């Protein structure tokens, strides 16, 4: 594990954010596009790929397993796959850095082919539970040997099944990563592999597998549950993937524009998949002035430009059913709630405890440092909004979204907010600082900016 040097960043009260911003490509779609390209025979091209550390780690892992992946001078990525089940043993450990999505999806890919690989990650990733993915994959025949802190942690050695067996698995937690890992393992498993999801989670895998020619079906069961089934040993056909802008990255710029006076920002090409749009729906409930224009289809996903203007927000009650459609957006929703009049109650946030950090604790500690009244009751976060004093340094715990959320809060706080370490922002949104600064946000690495 490499030594990590912290790099602080400070955000100061700003006004008048303006312009057109195109945030980078969606992280979930970028991982999946590389993986499905690597499992196809022939050339897949990807435009708009998120060139963040998380996604680049997945690309490196796929190369080490035998796929050829190159970036052209025009920014288009070219993937020549090995076909389903065509990977070879990597010569060195596969290092997934900070990326839970990367490692969990790749565990699925490896689980059903006769490949042995050592999987590693940074300190944050090595503290995250892998058992939720390993349990179903072990039932399919994969073997896992950990030398991490506990048996379900990285680092460890994954040995894919020689003769994988199909399963039907009901998700115990609403997790698109777990669903995807099983479906990817199903691609090289004879027969039909099924996942039953009691609550809907992001469906990019299903959409993209269809696009690559997989035999995949979804069937609605009782009480809104959905069974997704994939047939194994069907060859995938390469295709051209256009990656839309990531709504989870756009979220920071959207909230920045809402809470900063005299702002009007346009966020271009933002994906509005209904399994991902919970934050925009919630902000509109809070009174946000957000208009979606130019709605269109981009490679199987609906996208639009979002015009966002400064707004007087009011507190709302966010139901637990909405959590999967905005699971990565709660830190920045808490920021919007801190600037809103009245109380916002965000219900059912247990999953936040196992993200890149314990996000529930990290958000609460950050709000406390910034002088925002809040409490945690069970799995709910309650924020009493109003004026934000700021004047604090917030610990980011190797979590990109904690860093970006509290920098966003600093734009509206009375005194500046510093995050102790902004390096992890590069995992998902490498040009965050530049894009927001160009729009007029006062964000700087210079400690003098605090005076
Ligand atoms: C992701 C699913 C979510 C999300 C993560 C990306 C994906 O995780 O938090 O950033 O691409 O499938 P869970 O599946 O653990 O909810």
Residue 23 is given by DSSP the state P
Give me the mean pLDDT over the 118-122 stretch. Answer: 98
Q: What is the pLDDT of residue 231?
A: 98
CA distances in angstroms from 237 to 42, 84, 213, 215, 393, listed in the order given: 7, 10, 6, 12, 50
What percentage of the chain exceeds 70 in pLDDT? 98
Catalytic residue among 328, 399, 421, 431: 328
CA distances in angstroms from 169 to 72, 207, 266, 417, listed in the order given: 40, 20, 42, 45
Cβ of residue 28 lying under 6 Å from some atom of ligand 1: yes
Residue 352 CA to ligand 1 center (angstroms) comes to 11
Q: What is the pLDDT of residue 361?
A: 98
> What's the CA gap between 432 and 118, in Å, rounded?
32
Which residues, in sequence order, are CB contacts of 399 under 8 Å at separation 6+? 124, 355, 356, 357, 359, 362, 424
> What's the CA gap between 21 and 308, in Å, rounded?
11
Do 112 and 84 form a contact (C-beta atoms < 8 A)? no
Q: Does domain 9-25+244-450 have CATH number 2.60.120.10?
A: no
Kindly list the domain boundaries of the chain, sorted by start residue.
9-25+244-450, 27-242
Give me the mean pLDDT over the 373-391 stretch. Answer: 98
Q: What is the pLDDT of residue 54?
A: 98
User: Which band of pLDDT confidence, cut at 50, 70 and 90, is reported for residue 2?
Assistant: low
CA angle 245, 246, 250 (to 5 degrees): 95
Q: Dump pLDDT digits (tens) for 317-330.
A: 999 999 999 999 99
Cβ of residue 176 lying under 6 Å from some atom of ligand 1: yes
Do 217 and 305 form a contact (C-beta atoms < 8 A)? no
Q: Is 122 a catalytic residue?
A: no
Do 356 and 424 form a contact (C-beta atoms < 8 A)? yes
- In the β-sheet with 240-242, what is the strand arrangement from edge to edge? 68-71, 77-80, 43-47, 240-242
Do 68 and 143 form a contact (C-beta atoms < 8 A)? no
Matching fold, domains 9-25+244-450 and 27-242:
yes
User: Which band of pLDDT confidence, cut at 50, 70 and 90, is reported for residue 440?
Assistant: very high
> What's the CA gap between 180 and 341, in Å, rounded?
39
Q: Dump pLDDT digits (tens) for 20-60.
A: 999 999 999 999 999 999 999 999 999 999 999 999 999 99
The CATH number, out of the four listed (3.90.230.10, 3.30.70.960, 3.65.10.10, 3.90.600.10), of the domain defined by the range 27-242:
3.65.10.10
Q: What is the pLDDT of residue 447?
A: 55
Do 273 and 204 form a contact (C-beta atoms < 8 A)? yes
Pocket test for ligand 1, best of 327, 352, 358 (most atoms within 8 A of CB): 327
CA distances in angstroms from 221 to 118, 151, 177, 232, 366, listed in the order given: 38, 34, 21, 22, 41
Give me the mean pLDDT over the 158-182 stretch. Answer: 98
Q: Which of 163, 118, 111, 155 is nearest to 137 (CA)?
A: 111
Residue 176 CA to ligand 1 center (angstroms) comes to 6
Give the 3-state DSSP-derived string for 367-411, with helices as H, strands as E and coil as C: HHHCCCEEEEECCEEEEEECCCCEEEEECCCCCHHHHHHHHHHHC
Give me the mean pLDDT over the 6-13 stretch. Answer: 97
Kindly report the number of other CB atoms within 10 A of residue 43's CB atom.
14
Do 130 and 153 form a contact (C-beta atoms < 8 A)? yes
Cβ of residue 322 lying under 6 Å from some atom of ligand 1: no
Q: Which of 309, 310, 326 is nearest to 318 (CA)?
A: 326
Pocket test for ligand 1, best of 58, 174, 198, 202 (most atoms within 8 A of CB): 202
The residue whose CA has the least distance to atom 4 of ligand 1 is 328
The residue whose CA has the least distance to atom 10 of ligand 1 is 328
On the question of pLDDT at 120 being above 80, the answer is yes
Give me the mean pLDDT over the 338-356 stretch. Answer: 98
Q: What is the pLDDT of residue 210?
A: 97
Q: Dump pLDDT digits (tens) for 271-316.
A: 999 999 999 999 999 999 999 999 999 878 999 999 999 999 999 9
On the question of pLDDT at 428 being above 70, the answer is yes
What's the token pair of residue 72? 């052209």
| Three-class secondary structure of residue 133 per DSSP | helix
Please report which residue ranges of 260-351 form alpha helices under DSSP H: 278-285, 330-338
Q: What is the pLDDT of residue 31?
A: 98
User: Which band of pLDDT confidence, cut at 50, 70 and 90, is reported for residue 446?
Assistant: confident
Q: What is the pLDDT of residue 3?
A: 62
Q: Dump pLDDT digits (tens) for 57-91.
A: 999 999 999 999 999 999 999 999 999 999 999 99
Distance between alpha carbon 355 and the CA centroid of its chain, in Å?
Answer: 10
Arithmetic mean of pLDDT over the chain: 97
Q: What is the pLDDT of residue 450?
A: 44
Cβ of residue 101 lying under 6 Å from some atom of ligand 1: yes
Q: Which of 26, 10, 69 is nearest to 276 (CA)?
A: 26
On the question of pLDDT at 355 being above 60, the answer is yes
CA angle 175, 181, 187 (to 5 degrees): 140
């Amino acid at each position: 594990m490499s030594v990590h040097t912290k790099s602080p960043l400070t955000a100061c009260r700003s006004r008048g954010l303006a312009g057109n911003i195109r945030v980078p490509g969606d992280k979930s779609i970028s991982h999946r596009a590389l993986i499905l390209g690597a499992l196809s025979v022939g050339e897949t091209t990807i435009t708009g790929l998120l060139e963040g550390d998380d996604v680049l780690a997945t690309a490196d892992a796929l190369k080490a397993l035998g796929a050829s992946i190159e970036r052209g001078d025009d920014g288009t990525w070219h993937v020549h796959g090995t076909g389903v089940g065509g990977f070879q043993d990597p010569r060195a450990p596969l290092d997934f850095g900070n990326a839970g999505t990367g490692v969990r999806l790749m565990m699925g890919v490896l689980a059903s082919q006769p490949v042995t690989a050592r999987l590693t990650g940074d300190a944050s990733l090595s503290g995250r539970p892998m058992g939720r993915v390993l349990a179903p994959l072990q039932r399919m025949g994969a073997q896992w040997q950990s030398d991490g802190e506990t048996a379900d942690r990285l680092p460890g050695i994954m040995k894919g099944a020689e003769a994988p067996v199909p399963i039907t698995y009901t998700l115990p937690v609403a997790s698109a990563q777990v669903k995807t890992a099983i479906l990817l393992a199903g691609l090289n498993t004879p027969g039909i592999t099924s996942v039953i999801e009691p609550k809907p989670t992001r469906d990019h895998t299903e959409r993209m597998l269809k696009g690559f020619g997989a035999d995949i079906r979804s069937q609605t069961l009782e009480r809104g549950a959905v069974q997704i089934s994939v047939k194994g040993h069907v060859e995938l056909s390469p295709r051209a993937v256009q990656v839309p802008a990531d709504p989870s990255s756009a979220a920071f710029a959207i909230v920045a524009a809402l809470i900063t006076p005299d702002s009007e920002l346009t966020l271009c090409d933002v994906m509005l998949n209904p399994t991902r749009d919970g934050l925009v729906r919630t902000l509109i409930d809070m009174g946000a002035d957000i208009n979606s224009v130019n709605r269109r289809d981009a490679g199987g996903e609906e996208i639009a430009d979002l015009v966002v203007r400064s707004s007087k927000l009011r507190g709302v009650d966010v139901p637990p059913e909405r959590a999967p459609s905005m699971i990565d957006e709660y830190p920045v929703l808490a920021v919007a709630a801190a600037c809103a009049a009245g109380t916002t109650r965000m219900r059912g946030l247990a999953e936040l405890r196992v993200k890149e950090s314990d996000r529930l604790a990290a958000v609460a500690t950050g709000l406390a440092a910034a002088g925002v009244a809040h409490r945690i009751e069970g799995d709910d976060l309650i924020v009493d909004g109003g004026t934000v004093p700021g004047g604090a340094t917030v610990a980011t715990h190797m979590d990109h979204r904690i860093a970006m959320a509290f920098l966003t809060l600093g734009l509206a706080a009375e005194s500046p907010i510093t995050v102790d370490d902004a390096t992890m922002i590069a995992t998902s949104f490498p040009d965050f600082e530049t894009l927001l600064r160009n729009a007029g946000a006062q964000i700087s690495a210079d400690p003098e900016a605090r005076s």
